[in-house]
Structure 1
Amino acid sequence: MRSVFKLPAAAAALFAASGLSSAALAQEEEAGPISFSANVTLTSDYRFRGISQTEEDLALQGGFDAAHESGFYVGTWASNLAGWGTFGGSNLELDIYGGYATEVSSVGLDVGVVWYLFPGGLDRTSYGEIYGSVAKTFGPVDLTVGANYAFKQDALSLNDVKQDNIYVYGDAGVAIGDSPVSLSGHIGYTDGNPGTGPNGWVPSPTGTYLDWSIGASYDLPWGPIALSVSYVDTDISESEAAAYQIVNSGYRYGIGDAAAVFAISASF
C-alpha cells in the first residue's frame, strides 16, 4: 500500500545492467542468469504518497529482489506501521511483487503486479495493484513517469461496494557532476474512493489529492550507504481532514502535512 514504489530501484538496476562492459557481462554470465539484491533503510517517517504510515515516527524497512537476465524479477519489501498506517490493526506491511523490466531504444519499461499484505490486521485488508512506468535519461537527468492501478476489490470498499484507485506520478533525479550528491523530485496524483468502508483504504479525506517531494542524497565514501533528506507535502487541507475525523478518528491532519524526512539506507 505504501511507497510511491520500491520497484524503480530494482528496474534501474536492470536498465543499468544493459549498459555494462563486455568484461562485466562475462563475469555476470559466469555468476549465473539470476542476480540478487537487498536493501535496508532507517527513516524518520514512512510516507506513502505523502501520508505518514508511522504517525510521523521512525520506520525500519527492508527488501530483497531476484532478477533474471531476461528481465523478469520478483521481490518483497516490508516496513513497520503505526497509527493510521496500521490499516486494520496490523503493525506490519509486507509487499510481494513481480514484473518485467527492459529497455527499448534507450527507454526503460517496467510493468508488474504488487500485493500489499498486513499480517495480523482485519480480514479483507490485503489488496493488489497493477503498475507500469517509462524511464528515460537526458544527459545527467533521469526522468520517470508511471501509474499504479488498484482494481475494484474488498479492501477499497465504500458502503460494501468495491472501489478502485489510480495513482499517477512523475519522478526526476540528477547527479551533481562527479560528486556523491544527487537531487530528486516527485509529484503524484491520487484518485480513488472518497471515503472508507469497514475495511476500505484511502490515504486522504477526499480520495483525490496531490502529493510532492524534493530531496537530496549523499553517498558515503565507504560501503553502499547513503544519507538522504526530503521535503514531503500534500494539498490536503486542514478543513478536509477535520471533516473526515468525524467518521474516522484514526485520521489526523498532521500525517499529511509538510515534513522533512531523514533516512540512512544501504543496498547490497
Structure 2
Amino acid sequence: MKYYICLASFVCALFSGVSFNASADGGVTANVGVTNNYLWRGITQSDKKPAVSGGLDYSHNSGFYAGVWGSNVDFGSGSDASTEVDLYAGFANKLGDISYDFGYIYYEYPDGDNVNFSEVMASISWNFVSIGISTLADSDWDSDFGDDTYYEINFSFEAIKDVELGIHIGGYEYDKGRDYQDYNISLSKGGFSFMVSHVSEDEIEDDYTVTISYTHEINL
C-alpha cells in the first residue's frame, strides 16, 4: 500500500510513503524500486522480505494527477495475496507557500480474497512540515466509509548537502481492530533511502525495523 502525502511528505522513505510524481509542468513519469522490506504505515507488507515495485504517473499543470503502482506482497500463511496494485487520482497545488493535496486511492490484491479497499486522503504542507489524513472509503469486508482513519505529521530537513532527513509520526484508529502509532526517521539521497521505524503496539511489531530502499524515476 503506497500512500502519498502531498505529498511533500515523504519525507520518510520509500515503500513507507512516497510523494506523487506530479510536476509543475505536468507530464508522465515511470518509477522502479527495490527494498529489503516493504513497509506501509510501519507494518511489513512483504513478511520482512525484499520487494520490487514499479509505477506510472501522469500529472497536468492544473494540478490533476493519476497513476498506477504495483509491488509484490506477502501477508503470511493467512492470505493468498502475492501482488498489490494501487490506482489513484487527485489534485495537488499551491496557495502561496502552502501546498495541498487531496485524492483517492484503490488498493487491489488480484489473487487475494476479500482484501481490496479504497481510501480518500488530504494533506497540507508548509516549509518543512506536512500533515495528512487518510480514511477508509470502501472495503471488501464489513468496514464502511470513515471506519478506519490514519493521521500523520512529517518533517523534512536538509541534514547535509543533498541529504534529506525525514521524521514521521503516524497513528491508525480502527473501528474494528487494534489502534497503533508508528514512527520513523530516515536519510535519503539520490533515490536511496535508509529508514529506522517502530510501532507502539508490540503485538503488531515488537522491534525496530531497518529499511533500505532505492527508487529510480524516468521522465517519459
**TM-score range, shorter-chain basis?**
0.7 to 0.9
Structure 1 residue corresponding to 2:85, chosen from 75, 89, 94 = 94
Q: Structure 1 175/103 Cα, relative in aligned 2: closer, same or farther at 3 Å?
A: same
Following TM superposition, by how much is the alpha carbon of 1:114 offset from its aligned partner in structure 2, in angstroms? 0.4
Q: Structure 1 68/152 Cα, relative in aligned 2: closer, same or farther at 3 Å?
A: closer
Q: Per the alignment, in what secondary structure is the counterpart of residue 210 of structure 1?
A: strand
Structure-1 separation of matches of 2:104 and 2:145: 19
Q: Structure 1 152/120 Cα, relative in aligned 2: closer, same or farther at 3 Å?
A: closer
Greater C-alpha radius of gyration: 1
Q: Structure 1 228/173 Cα, relative in aligned 2: closer, same or farther at 3 Å?
A: same
Q: Which residue matches 1:135?
A: 125
1:218-251 CA deviation, whole Å, 9 max, x = no partner? 22xxxxxx221100110112xxx2xxxxxxxxxx
Structure 2 residue corresponding to 1:71, chosen from 45, 55, 63 = 63
Equivalences for 1:104-253 in 2 at 5 Å?
104-122=95-113, 124-137=114-127, 142-151=128-137, 153-155=139-141, 157=142, 164-177=147-160, 179-195=161-177, 206=178, 208-219=179-190, 226-237=191-202, 241=203, 253=204
The letter for the 2-side match of 1:214 is I
Q: Which runs of 4+ in 1 moved over 4 A?
A: none
> Percent identity among equivalent residues?
25
Q: Which residue matches 1:23?
A: none
Following TM superposition, by how much is the alpha carbon of 1:7 offset from its aligned partner in structure 2, in angstroms? 6.0
The letter for the 2-side match of 1:230 is M
The letter for the 1-side match of 2:140 is D
| Greater RCO (CA < 8 Å, at least 6 residues apart) | 2
Q: Which residue matches 1:200?
A: none
User: Structure 1 regions of 5+ residues with no counterpart?
Assistant: 18-27, 29-33, 196-205, 220-225, 242-252
Instruction: Determine whether 1:43 maps to 2:25.
Output: no
How many pairs are equivalent?
Answer: 207
Following TM superposition, by how much is the alpha carbon of 1:176 offset from its aligned partner in structure 2, in angstroms? 3.2
Which of the pair is proportionally richer in helix? Answer: 1
- Determine if contact 1:163/1:192 at 8 Å carries over to the other structure: no
Following TM superposition, by how much is the alpha carbon of 1:180 offset from its aligned partner in structure 2, in angstroms? 2.4
TM-score by length of 1: 0.71
Structure-2 separation of matches of 1:107 and 1:209: 29
User: Structure 2 regions of 5+ residues with no counterpart?
Assistant: 8-18
Q: Structure 1 102/66 Cα, relative in aligned 2: closer, same or farther at 3 Å?
A: same
Q: Per the alignment, in what secondary structure is the counterpart of residue 56 of structure 1?
A: coil
Q: Per the alignment, in what secondary structure is the counterpart of residue 115 of structure 2?
A: coil
Structure-1 separation of matches of 2:30 and 2:211: 22
Say what the alpha-carbon RMSD is for the aligned residues.
2.3
